[in-house]
Amino acid sequence: MCKVRKALETKGLKICCKGSRKDVYPFGRMLVGFNAYLLRKGERATNNDILNIFEDEDDFSTLSTVAEQENYYEEWFVSL
């Protein structure tokens, strides 16, 4: 999905789905699936934080570029 998102970003477009949220990131075995974790700085992700990355996202303010999403993940990781 990141390859598609990066290609769309060059045209100024973003996909309106949970997987494009700044605070959503897959890791572990989720890297090859359809799920990812909703991350909150200072808190560990749990099974309750698992989202389907293809679910619609209505809050456009949460959408980000792939780079912004990766930066948020780094900030979240350091916050633990």
Please tell me the predicted confidence (pLDDT) of residue 31: 63
Give yes or no for a contact between 36 and 23, defined as CB atoms under 8 angstroms apart.
no
pLDDT per position as a tens digit, 51-62: 999 999 999 999
Distance of alpha carbon 14 from alpha carbon 11, whole angstroms: 9
Specify the pTM.
0.88
Positions of E strands within the chain: 24-25, 35-38, 50-52
pLDDT per position as a tens digit, 23-61: 999 887 766 689 999 999 999 999 999 999 999 999 999
